[in-house]
């Protein structure tokens, strides 16, 4: 199906003039906003609901549904989650660096739909280039009267701000991001209340991912039915960016209709690095359980990946060939989650630390038979019991290692060393 | 109001009540560390996980009881399912893997939530066998301020202390630094934990991470005997627990009273017991000063009665009261003054440290170092007699006695408390009061004043007696004796009843226990106490019937600004 597919989100890739307002308007830019501003806010929400657009940040929650939950209080806020910090994920960066106005238009439509007059784009601190581009785009749009006090002459007031994070993965969690936005220590809040009711500055807030919002202008201009025609089924619609990295010839961000088979994705990325053999892949960023090579024909949409025992997440695909030590890979992921845990809730703070120590011990050949059971038990005590989803994210790769790749772990235990060539080692990572 | 069923017990609760509080209403204790009723709910210790069925539909994950508020009908909560037990076991394991387990040298051992829950909800072995525990080298004994010491190794990161400084003390000295398994509690550079409530963080710390510099290593807490009492530091009347071992007080801890001090108490109040150990005690009745011999109780009382009777011709009989007397004692002194026909009675009061103790109504500020000035004055220790005899200018009140030459006009001067205030310890005052022809001193301290007294009666400290105090808001509060007094000390109430029976034989008929009988007698006589009996004083105290005082109180609380001096 993807042979006939025209890129939607990445249509302006390779067109440097799209960075400017003029250039963006050449390809029909801001027509979606103009159309939305003539509609009732509720009708816009309805249209997005009809399109079946699901959040592209990882959880896959229907975007239109989220907008309709917004609380009654005013003022309301839109916070665009551009804190893209999961290992392997780099799709939003492309969208922001190449086509900033597409994001601004999406934000503006969303603000109109939920009657918010302020939008914050919370951007990962390391994305200095993207932040500068967005700031320039906002200035340009304000000066041209597309945004600002009187957006496109409609009387709708809309202020946009770029807020740069300070380098914490946890600030990509929506409530952690709101805390950080308010100038506090970036750590998640207890839910409920959800941000839609009590969000930024205790006001109703919609939090959406960059890619989600970038889809919105296209839904408005081309209609929900067009959007629904792309994808596998009713629940998985629209175009999707896949960030593919690891042992492939041409890592990068590729746009496909959602539900593209993994094999096709791999081909597009140039196939395996130096014709290696596929051993395993992570379908949705560091927090997704690892899938074995046998899943090569998996359709990459929310439901199919979930059925295979993993999750699509942010659709950051990490490909690993047969020279990869999975124990070492998972230990590295565990180190990441331990390092990025905010430390407030017990299971995540203590559990991720313990898992990291244990996995390093296994990788060093010091493991014992009972460690698999122990790891699963720790995962059980973290899963579903942490304050925010980071705990659940941290156990994904670990669980899949023990459950799906146990022979490899066993080999480490039996040989009392790692059977794979010793590449650059990253320390025992106690802290 | 919605109802909620917790472990088969149904209770009606106010909408918004969280499950921990709702559980306590029906006697179900849900274990928790980070939750505290006066602090924001953060739901981060995850110890209070329970299972909830919302109208028959089970919630997919275990929910934190602290952050689950009952807002509607139909919740069924279980705290005893295998899933909940498994979650609790897992959480206890997480807490303990990086905990030093140094209970034998930890001050908290015996009152440690980690110990309690480990017994109740934990497992007896560790699966954390090969890895190194996380430690914070160099952070084992960090003084956060002059009253609080931090051992980061023991911390379970519940952030109660951090929230306390931000939300109750409103000084915000503490912060939560770093992240992941390396998070730590600390102060900001150059801003130590110095506020008047700082030791409260030690009380709310569920483990031994925060310890009090004063109580540190003073006693194992499981050897302490605990009795409810009141603080005598100022007029707020904070409810406290006196914790002692064999009559040696080791610490005061705040006792919950939502009407007065809530869960809190000031650092100054916690130090007030130290004088009981530092000052010499008077332990036997004594006549003729410290150089002379001791005397039996009977002879001493006879002599005092004789002196009080032989008054008028030779000069005045004056009573110097004390704000540290209980209401009952003050009333008996007033009766004694009546019997001696003396209008010369007053209560000297020192200025106190002026701290505000926060509570739900905003707080109470104590200005005077006088736990019971209002009670003593209500009981009759004010210039004049019930007969209306003179409240005129020539009354020998405390100003005349302590600053002027009033004592020289006295044939008998009765000092009701050898430790009535700072002045009691100054040589000038002792010299002034000694000008009285006959000086009678009651008191627990063998102060310079008691040493020069013609008659000195040993009586208990407030931790050794029972009685009532009336605080700044005219709240009557009862307290109990924590331990018996030393030596030949007798309860002052008994002594005074004995003395009064030498004037009026009916006093000898007073039933035991004396304090209760005396209180009931005075309550029948003084309008402000009408209807209150010793037995019916509630645990949280009761407001006296004082409309005009209440009106004044409202204006005071409106302009209540803490003064620091």
pLDDT above 70: percentage of residues in chain B = 94
pLDDT class of B549 with cuts at 50, 70, 90: low
Residue at B92 is within a domain:
no
Task: Among B239, B261, B277, identify where a domain stops.
Answer: B277
Question: Do the domain assignments include residue B564?
Answer: no
- Residues A161 and A24 both lie in one domain: yes
Is residue B292 predicted with pLDDT exceeding 80?
no
Both A203 and A138 in one domain: the answer is yes
Q: Do A350 and B60 touch (CB under 8 A)?
A: no
Residue B399: what pLDDT?
85
Distances (CA, A) of A384 to A393, A396, B59: 10, 12, 11
CATH number, domain at B60?
3.10.20.740
- What CATH number is attached to the domain comprising A382? 1.20.1440.230
Is any Cβ of chain A less than 8 angstroms from the Cβ of B92? Answer: no
Helix, strand or coil for residue B92?
helix
Return the CATH number at B180.
Answer: 3.30.70.20
What average pLDDT does chain B have?
A: 90
The residue among B28, B47, B80 that closes a domain is B80
pLDDT tens-digit readout, B138-153: 999 999 999 999 999 9
Selecting from B98, B131, B180 the residue whose C-beta is nearest the C-beta of A338 gives: B180
pLDDT at A4: 76
State pLDDT tens for residues A72-112. Answer: 999 999 999 999 999 999 999 999 999 999 999 999 999 99
Q: Looking at the predicted structure, is the pLDDT value of residue B415 above 50?
A: yes
Q: Do A366 and B180 count as a contact with CB atoms less than 8 A apart?
A: no
Total structural domains within chain B? 3
- Under the banding of pLDDT at 50, 70 and 90, the label for residue B565 is very low
Cis check: omega of the bond before A193, within 30 degrees of 0? yes
Report the percentage of chain A scoring pLDDT > 90.
92
Do A247 and A366 lie in one domain? The reply is: no
Say if residue B523 is in the same domain as residue B396: yes
Number of domains chain A is built from: 3
When pLDDT is cut at 50, 70 and 90, the band that residue B154 belongs to is: very high
Distance (Å, whole) CA B287 – CA B280: 18
Asked if A349 lies within 8 A of B157 by C-beta distance, the reply is yes
Domain match, A210 and A239 both: no
**For range B348-374, the mean pLDDT:** 90
Structure tokens at B242: 């006196």
**Separation between Cα atoms, residue B6 and residue B24, nearest integer Å:** 10
The answer to whether residue B393 is domain-embedded is yes
Can you give the pLDDT at residue B555?
A: 52
Whether residues B247 and B347 share a domain: the answer is no
Q: Which residues of B520-541 are buried (b: 16+ CB within 10 A; e: fewer)?
A: bbbbeebebbeebebeebeeeb
For residue B214, count other CB atoms closer than 10 A to its CB.
17
CA dist., res. B67 & res. B43, Å (int) = 6
Q: Which residues pair with B242 in a beta bridge?
A: B227, B252
The share of chain B scoring above pLDDT 90, in percent, equals: 77
Query: A314 vs A80, A91, A211, A317, A388, CA distance in Å?
Result: 15, 8, 10, 9, 17
Task: Determine the structural domain holding residue A290 and report its residue range.
Answer: 232-321
Rounded CA separation A107/A121 (Å): 9
Q: Is residue B212 located within the same domain as residue B273? A: yes
CA distance A96 to A129: 9
Partner-chain contact A366 B128, CB within 8 Å: no
Confidence of residue B563 (pLDDT cuts 50, 70, 90): very low
B563 is a domain residue: no
Give the E-state strand segments of B307-447 in sequence order.
Answer: 316-320, 344-346, 351-357, 364-368, 410-415, 438-443
Percent of chain A with pLDDT over 70: 97
Write out chain B residues lying below 8 Å of A428, CB-based: none
| Structural domain ending residue among the three candidates A321, A351, A368 | A321
Lowest mean pLDDT, pick from A314-328, A341-355, B256-270, B378-392: B378-392
Residues A121 and A61 both lie in one domain:
yes
Find which of A366, A385, A387, A395 to mutate to test the B interface (most B CBs within 10 Å of its CB).
Answer: A385
Can you give the pLDDT at residue B348? Answer: 92
Q: Is residue A129 part of a domain?
A: yes
A396 & A409 share domain:
yes
Do A182 and A195 share a domain, yes or no? yes
B178/A contact by beta carbon, under 8 A: yes
Distance between A350 CA and the closest CA of chain B, angstroms: 6
Nearest 5°: the CA angle A386, A388, A394 is: 70
* Distance, CA of B258 to CA of B240 (rounded, Å): 13
The stretch B113-127 carries a mean pLDDT of 93
List the domain range (segments joined by +) for residue B235.
104-277
Q: Please name the residue of chain A whose CA is at the shortest distance from the CA of residue B158.
A: A344
Residues B495, B297: Cα–Cα separation, whole Å: 9
Q: Is residue B516 part of a domain?
A: yes
Is the residue at B234 inside a domain? yes
Question: Do A253 and A395 have their domain in common?
Answer: no
Please check the confidence at residue A423 and state whether its pLDDT lies above 80.
no
- The confidence score (pLDDT) of residue B554 equals 53
pLDDT at B394: 73
pLDDT for the residue numbered B551: 58
pTM of the entire predicted model: 0.92
A228, A250, A281 — which closes off a domain? Answer: A228
Looking at the fold, whether B159 and B257 belong to one and the same domain comes out as yes
- Same domain assignment for residues B372 and B441: yes
> B181 and A345 in contact by Cβ < 8 A?
no
Residue A360 resides in a domain: yes
CB contact under 8 Å between B61 and A357, yes or no, is: no
């Amino acid at each position: 199906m993807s042979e006939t597919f025209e890129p939607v989100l990445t249509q302006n890739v390779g067109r440097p003039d799209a960075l400017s307002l003029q250039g963006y308007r050449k390809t029909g830019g801001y027509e979606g906003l103009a159309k939305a501003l003539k509609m009732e806010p509720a009708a816009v929400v309805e249209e997005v609901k009809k399109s079946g657009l699901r959040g592209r940040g990882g959880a896959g929650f229907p975007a239109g549904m989220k907008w309709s939950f917004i609380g009654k209080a005013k003022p309301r806020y839109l916070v665009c989650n551009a804190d893209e910090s999961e290992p392997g994920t780099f799709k939003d960066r492309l969208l922001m660096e190449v086509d900033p106005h597409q994001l601004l238009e999406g934000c503006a439509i969303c603000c109109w739909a939920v009657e918010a007059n302020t939008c914050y784009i919370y951007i990962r601190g390391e994305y200095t280039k993207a932040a500068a581009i967005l700031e320039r785009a906002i200035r340009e749009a304000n000066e041209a009267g597309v945004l600002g006090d009187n957006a496109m002459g409609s009387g709708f007031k809309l202020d946009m701000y770029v807020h740069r994070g300070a380098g914490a993965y946890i600030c990509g969690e929506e409530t952690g991001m709101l805390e950080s936005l308010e100038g506090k220590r970036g750590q998640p809040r207890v839910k409920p209340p959800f941000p839609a009711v009590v969000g930024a500055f205790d006001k109703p807030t919609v939090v959406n991912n960059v890619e989600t919002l970038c889809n919105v202008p296209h839904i408005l201009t081309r209609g929900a039915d067009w959007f629904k025609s792309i994808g596998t089924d009713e629940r998985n619609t629209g175009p999707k960016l896949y960030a593919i990295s690891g042992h492939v010839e041409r890592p990068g961000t590729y746009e496909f209709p959602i539900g593209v088979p993994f094999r096709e994705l791999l081909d597009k990325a140039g196939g395996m690095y130096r014709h290696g053999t596929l051993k395993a892949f992570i379908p949705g960023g560091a927090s997704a359980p690892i899938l074995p090579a046998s899943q090569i024909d998996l359709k990459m949409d929310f439901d199919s990946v979930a059925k295979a025992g993993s999750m699509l997440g942010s659709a950051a695909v990490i490909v690993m060939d047969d020279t990869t030590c999975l124990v070492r890979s998972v230990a590295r992921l565990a180190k990441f989650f331990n390092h990025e845990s905010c430390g407030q809730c017990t299971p995540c703070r203590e559990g991720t630390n313990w898992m990291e120590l244990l996995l390093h011990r296994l990788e060093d050949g010091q493991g014992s038979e009972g460690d698999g059971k122990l790891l699963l038990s720790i995962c059980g005590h973290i899963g579903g019991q942490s304050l925010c989803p980071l705990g659940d994210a941290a156990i994904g790769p670990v669980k899949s290692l023990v459950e799906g790749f146990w022979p490899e772990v066993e080999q480490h235990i039996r040989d009392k060393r790692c059977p794979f060539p010793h590449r650059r080692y990253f320390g025992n990572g106690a802290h | 109001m919605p109802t909620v069923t917790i472990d088969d017990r149904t209770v009606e609760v106010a909408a918004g009540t969280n499950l921990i509080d709702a559980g306590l209403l029906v006697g179900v204790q849900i274990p928790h560390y980070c939750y505290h009723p006066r602090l924001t709910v953060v739901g981060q210790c995850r110890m209070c996980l329970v299972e909830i069925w919302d109208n028959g539909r089970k919630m997919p994950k275990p929910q934190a009881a602290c952050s689950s508020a009952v807002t509607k009908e139909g919740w069924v909560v279980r705290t005893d399912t295998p899933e909940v037990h498994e979650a609790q076991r897992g959480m206890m394991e997480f807490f303990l893997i990086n905990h030093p387990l140094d209970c034998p040298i930890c001050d908290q051992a015996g009152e440690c939530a980690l110990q309690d829950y480990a017994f109740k909800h934990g497992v007896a072995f560790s699966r954390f066998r090969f890895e190194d525990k996380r430690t914070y080298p160099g952070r084992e004994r960090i003084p956060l301020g002059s009253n609080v010491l931090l051992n980061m190794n023991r911390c379970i990161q519940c952030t109660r202390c951090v929230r306390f400084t931000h939300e109750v003390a409103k000084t915000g000295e503490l912060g939560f630094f770093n992240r992941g398994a390396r998070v730590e509690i600390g102060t900001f550079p150059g801003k130590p934990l110095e506020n008047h409530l700082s030791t409260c963080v030690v009380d709310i710390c569920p483990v031994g991470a925060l310890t009090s510099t004063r109580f540190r290593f003073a006693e194992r807490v499981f050897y302490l005997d605990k009795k409810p009492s009141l603080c005598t530091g100022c007029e707020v009347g904070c409810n406290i627990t006196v914790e002692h071992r064999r009559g040696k007080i080791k610490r005061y801890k705040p006792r919950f009273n939502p009407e007065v001090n809530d869960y809190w108490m000031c650092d100054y109040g916690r130090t007030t017991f130290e004088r009981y150990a530092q000052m010499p005690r008077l332990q036997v009745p004594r006549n003729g000063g410290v150089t002379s011999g001791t005397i039996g109780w009977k002879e001493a009382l006879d002599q005092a009665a004789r002196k009080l009777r032989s008054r008028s011709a030779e000069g005045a009989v004056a009573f110097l009261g004390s704000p540290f007397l209980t209401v009952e004692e003050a009333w008996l002194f007033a009766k004694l003054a009546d019997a001696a026909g003396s209008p010369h009675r007053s209560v000297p009061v020192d200025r106190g440290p002026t701290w505000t103790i926060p509570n739900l109504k905003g707080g109470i500020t104590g200005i005077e170092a006088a736990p019971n000035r209002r009670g003593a004055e209500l009981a009759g220790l004010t210039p004049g007699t019930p007969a209306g005899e003179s409240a005129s200018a020539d009354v020998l009140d405390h100003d005349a006695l302590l600053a002027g030459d009033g004592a020289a006009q006295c044939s008998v001067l009765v000092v009701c408390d050898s430790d009535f205030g700072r002045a009691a310890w100054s040589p000038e005052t002792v010299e002034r009061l000694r000008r009285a022809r006959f000086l009678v001193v009651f008191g627990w301290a063998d102060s310079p004043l008691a040493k020069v007294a013609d008659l000195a009666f040993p009586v208990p400290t407030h931790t050794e007696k029972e009685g009532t105090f009336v605080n700044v808001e005219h709240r009557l509060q009862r307290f109990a004796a924590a331990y018996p007094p030393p030596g030949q000390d007798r309860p002052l109430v008994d002594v005074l009843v004995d003395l009064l029976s030498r004037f009026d034989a009916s006093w000898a008929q007073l039933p035991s226990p004396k304090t209760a009988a005396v209180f009931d007698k005075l309550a029948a006589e003084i309008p402000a106490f009408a209807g209150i009996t010793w037995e019916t004083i509630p645990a949280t105290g009761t407001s006296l019937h004082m409309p005009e005082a209440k009106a004044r109180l409202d204006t005071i609380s409106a302009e209540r600004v803490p003064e620091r001096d």
